[in-house]
Amino acid sequence: MLVTAVIVFRFFQYCGATILLGSSLFFIYGLPKTGPCAASTQRWPKLLIILSSAVLIISAVMGLISQTGLLAGSFGEGLKLANLQAVVTQMNFGWSNITRALIAMTALISVTALKPSSVLWTWCSILGVIVCSSFAWMGHGAATPGAGGYFHLLADIAHSLAAAVWMGALVVFVFWLWSGQSSAATDLELHDSLRAFSGIGSAAVAVLVVTGLINSWFLVGVDRLSEAWTTLYAQVLIAKLAVFIGMLGLAASNRYRLTPALGSALESGGARSKALTALKVSLVSETLAAFIVFALVAWLGTLAPASVH
C-alpha cells in the first residue's frame, strides 16, 4: 500500500513540475505576445500554473510522508516528526521533496499575486528548472558511485528538463484546443505555434534519446544486458520505451502531416474542423501517453536497477 502511495505521489510530482516548467516556458516562446491567444489575455494559463503548483505542493509533502512511512514500517511512523526530520536531514529524497514543496509554494504565491506577463512566466520557468532538476537527487542518478556519478546525475537532470519542455507544451496545446476558441485568426495562431514548437520539440526529443541511453548504460549495464531483461526493472523500462516510441510516432504525425494539413486548410479557406479534430485526437493521445510514461518512471524509481541484481 505504501509503495503504491509513493508511486502515485511521484507521478503527480512529475506532472506538476512538468507543467510548471514546460507550460510556463511555452507561454513565452510558443504563444503570441498579444491578441486573444496570448497567455496574458486568457484565464486558463494562470489557472493551469496555479493547479500544477498546488498539485506539486500536496504530492511533495504526501510523497515525503509516504516514503518515510515505507522506510519506518507504517504510514503512522511516517507522520512522526522525528522520523521526518531524520529523513529530511540525512537523505536526498527528503530534502529534495521539501525543496519542491517550498518552490511550488513560491510559484503558487507568485502566480496568484501577480498579473500574467512574460516576467511572471520566466520566473515560473526558473522555479520549474529547479524543481525538475531536484528529481535527479531522489532517483538512481544521485546514487551512482565512482567517477561516473556526476556524469550520470547531469544526464538525469538533462533528461528531466527535456521531458518537461516537451510534455509541458503538449498540455498547453490540449488546453488551447479544448478552450473553445476557434476562428480563422486563432487557428492561424495555433498553426504558427505548432510550427514554432516543432524545432524545440525535436531538440527535446534528441536530448531525451541521448540521456536515456546514458541512463540505461548506468542502470542496466552492458555486461549484464543479456540477463537484465528478466528483471522487473528492465521489463518496466521496456514498457516505458514502447510508449515513448508511440509518442514519437504521434509527434512525427503532428509535425509532418496534421500541422501542414491545418495550414493547407487555412490557406485554401477549406474546412478547418476536420484538421482541428485530427489534431485534437493526436495531441490528446500524445499527452495521455506522456502521463503513462510518467507513471512508469514513478514505478521505476521504486525498483532496484537491473545493474544491481
Q: What is the pLDDT of residue 176?
A: 85
- Of 157, 268, 196, the closest CA to residue 26 belongs to 196
Averaged pLDDT, 152-163:
91
Percent pLDDT > 70 in the chain is: 90
Those residues with Cβ within 8 angstroms of residue 96's Cβ, 6 or more apart along the chain or in another chain: 134, 135, 137, 138
Name the burial class of residue 51, with classes exposed (0-12), middle (13-18) and buried (19+) by CB atoms within 10 angstroms of its CB.
middle
Q: Determine phi and psi for 139, rounding to 5 degrees.
A: -105, -170
* 169 and 22 Cβ atoms separated by less than 8 Å: yes
List the chain domain ranges.
Answer: 2-308
Q: Mean pLDDT check: name the lowest of 13-27, 50-64, 262-276.
A: 262-276
* 56 and 101 Cβ atoms separated by less than 8 Å: yes
Q: What is the pLDDT of residue 136?
A: 83
Q: Which tens digit of pLDDT belongs to each residue from 251-261?
A: 999 999 999 98
Q: What sign does the CA torsion over 265, 248, 291, 88 have?
A: negative
- Of 124, 170, 134, the closest CA to residue 291 belongs to 170
Averaged pLDDT, 181-205:
84
Q: How many CB atoms lie within 10 A of CB 35?
A: 12
Residue 131 has pLDDT above 50, yes or no: yes
Q: What is the pLDDT of residue 309?
A: 47
* 274 and 214 Cβ atoms separated by less than 8 Å: no
Q: Nine-digit cell at 278?
A: 485530427
Measure the CA–CA gap between 113 and 307, rounded to whole angstroms: 48
Measure the CA–CA gap between 237 and 220, rounded to whole angstroms: 10
Q: What is the pLDDT of residue 126?
A: 97
The three-class DSSP label of residue 116 is: coil
Please tell me which residue, 152 or 54, carries the higher pLDDT value.
54
Residue count of the chain: 309
Measure the CA–CA gap between 184 and 101, rounded to whole angstroms: 42
Averaged pLDDT, 63-90:
88
pTM value > 0.85: yes
Measure the CA–CA gap between 209 and 281, rounded to whole angstroms: 25
Averaged pLDDT, 205-218:
86
Q: What is the pLDDT of residue 64?
A: 93
**Hunting for cell 509532418 — which residue is that?**
256
